[in-house]
Chain A
Amino acid sequence: MKIAVVGAGLMGRLIALSLARQGYQVCLYDKDNKQAKQSAAYAAGGLLTPLGESMSCEPNIVEMGFTSLKMWPELLATLDENVYFQKQGAIMVSHEQDKGDYQRFVQHIERNYGQCTVNALNRQQLNELEPELTPQFNQGLFLPDEGQIDNRKLLTALQKQLELEQVNWFTEAEVSQLKNQASHCQLTVYGQVQTFDLVIDCRGVGARKSYGEKQQTSSLHDLRAVRGELFHLFAPEVHLSRPIRLMHPRYQLYIAPKPNHLYLVGATEIESDDLSPMTVRSALELLSAAYSVNAGFAEANIRQHISQLRPAFSDNQPKLLVNQRLIQVNGLYRHGFLIAPVMLKKVTLAVSQLDQKVVTGTSI
Chain B
Amino acid sequence: MSLSIYGEQLNSRLLIGSALYPSPDIMKKAIIASGAQVVTLSLKRQNPQQQSGQKIWQYIQDIVKQNHGFLLPNTAGCKTAKEVVTLAQMSRELFQTSWLKLEVIGDDYNLQPDPVELLKAAEILINDGFKVLPYCTDDLVLCQRLYDLGCEVIMPWASPIGTGKGLMNPYNLATIRARLPKATLILDAGIGKPSDACLAMEMGYDGILLNSAVALADDPILMAKAFADALLSGEQAYRAGIMQQRQTAQPSTPTLDTPFWQQN
Query: A: which residues have CB within 8 A of B?
Result: 56-58, 97, 100, 104, 107-108, 111-112, 222, 224-225, 227, 249-250, 270-274, 276, 279, 281, 312, 314-317
Inter-chain CA distance A104–B20, complex, in Å, is: 14
A-B contact sample (14 more), CB < 8 A, given A108-B218, A227-B52:
A56-B22, A104-B216, A112-B218, A224-B24, A250-B20, A271-B53, A271-B56, A272-B47, A272-B52, A272-B56, A274-B46, A274-B50, A274-B52, A279-B45
Please give, as numbers and ranges, the residues of chain B lying within 8 Å of A250 by CB-CB distance: 20
Q: Which 8 A-B pairs have the closest CB atoms?
A: A274-B52, A316-B23, A271-B56, A272-B52, A315-B25, A224-B55, A314-B24, A274-B47
Contact between A272 and B45, CB atoms less than 8 A apart? yes
B218 and A271 contacting across the interface, CB-CB below 8 Å: no
Judge if B162 is at the interface, Cβ distance under 8 Å: yes
Q: List 20 A-B contacts (CB under 8 A).
A: A57-B22, A107-B218, A222-B59, A224-B56, A224-B59, A225-B55, A249-B162, A270-B46, A271-B46, A271-B53, A271-B55, A271-B56, A272-B45, A272-B52, A272-B56, A273-B55, A274-B50, A274-B52, A276-B50, A314-B59
- B96 CB to nearest A CB, Å: 20
Asked if B106 is an interface residue, CB under 8 A from chain A, the answer is no
**When chains A and B are docked, how far (Å) is the Cα of A279 from the Cα of B163?**
26
Number of interface residues of B (CB under 8 A): 23
Q: Cβ of B24 and Cβ of A272 under 8 Å apart?
A: no
A104 to B54, CA, bound (A): 31
Contacts of B54 in A (CB 8 A): 273
Report B-chain residues with C-beta under 8 Å of the C-beta of A227. 52
Residues of A with C-beta under 8 A to B55: 224-225, 271, 273
Are A100 and B164 neighbours in the complex by a CB distance under 8 Å?
yes
Distance between B103 CB and nearest chain A CB, rounded to angstroms: 16
Write out the residue numbers on chain B whose beta carbons fall within 8 Å of the beta carbon of A104: 216
Q: How far in angstroms is the closest Cβ of chain A from B51? A: 9
Using CB atoms and an 8 Å cutoff, list the residues of chain B in contact with chain A.
Answer: 20, 22-26, 28, 45-47, 50, 52-56, 59, 109, 162-164, 216, 218
| B-side contacts of A107, CB under 8 Å | 218
Nearest A-chain residue to B57, judged by Cβ: A271
Which B residues touch A222, using CB under 8 A?
59
Closest residue of chain A to B20, judged by CB? A250
CB neighbours (8 Å) of B218 from chain A are 107-108, 111-112
Residues of B within 8 A of A111 (CB): 218
> Please, how many angstroms separate the alpha-carbon atoms of A100 and B164 in the complex?
9
CB-based nearest A residue for B18? A271
Complex: chain A residue closest to B23, CB-CB = A316
> Which residue on chain A has the smallest CB distance to residue B49?
A274
Assess the B23–A315 pair: CB atoms within 8 A.
Answer: yes
Min C-beta distance of A261 to chain B, whole Å: 32
A225-B55, A314-B25 are contacts. A272–B46 as well, Cβ < 8 Å?
yes
Which residues of B are found within 8 Å of A249, using beta-carbon distances?
A: 162
Min CB gap B57→A, angstroms: 9
- How far apart are B84's CB and chain A's nearest CB, in angstroms? 17
- CB nearest to B24 among chain A residues: A314
- Chain B residues whose CB sits within 8 angstroms of the CB of A273 once the complex forms: 52-55
Q: CA A361 – CA B67 in complex, angstroms?
A: 50
Q: Cβ of A270: which chain B residues have Cβ within 8 Å of it?
A: 45-46
The distance from the CB of B25 to the nearest CB of chain A, in whole angstroms, is 4
**Bound: A91/B154 CA distance, A:** 44
Complex contacts, B25 vs chain A, CB 8 Å: 314-316
Residues of A near B22 (CB, < 8 A) are 56-58, 316
- A276–B47 contact, CB under 8 A? yes
Q: Given the complex of chains A and B, what is the CA–CA distance between A351 and B154 in angstroms?
A: 60
Which chain B positions have C-beta within 8 A of A271?
46, 53, 55-56
Chain A residues with Cβ below 8 Å from B47 are 272, 274, 276
Give B217's nearest chain A residue, CB to CB.
A104
In the bound assembly, the distance between CA atoms of A227 and B46 in angstroms comes to 9
Chain A residues near B20: list those with CB within 8 A. 250
Q: Please, which residue of chain B has its CB at the minimum distance from the CB of A270?
A: B45
In angstroms, how far is the closest chain A Cβ from the Cβ of B22? Answer: 5
A189, chain B: closest CB distance, angstroms: 27
In the complex, which of the residues A58, A272, A315, A317 contacts B53, with contact meaning CB atoms closer than 8 Å? A272
A residues within 8 A CB of B59?
222, 224, 314
Give Cα A102–Cα B139 distance, bound, in whole angstroms. 32
Report the bound CA distance from A97 to B110 in whole Å: 10
Contacting residues, chain B, for A224 (C-beta < 8 A): 24, 55-56, 59
- When chains A and B are docked, how far (Å) is the Cα of A211 from the Cα of B225? 39
In the assembled complex, the Cα of A316 lies from the Cα of B28 at a distance in Å of: 13
Give the complex CA separation of A225 and B42 in angstroms. Answer: 17
Inter-chain CA distance A279–B50, complex, in Å, is 14
User: In the complex the two chains form, what is the Cα distance from A272 to B109 in whole Å?
Assistant: 26
Please give the distance in Å from B166's CB to the nearest CB on chain A.
13
Which chain B residue shows the least CB distance to A314?
A: B24
Distance of A104 Cα from B53 Cα, bound (Å)? 29
B contact residues around A57 at 8 Å (CB): 22
Instruction: Identify the closest chain A residue to B110 (Cβ).
Output: A97
User: With the chains together, A103 CA to B95 CA distance in Å?
Assistant: 38
Contacts of A274 in B (CB 8 A): 46-47, 50, 52
Closest residue of chain B to A225 (Cβ to Cβ) is B55
B233 to chain A, nearest CB (A): 26
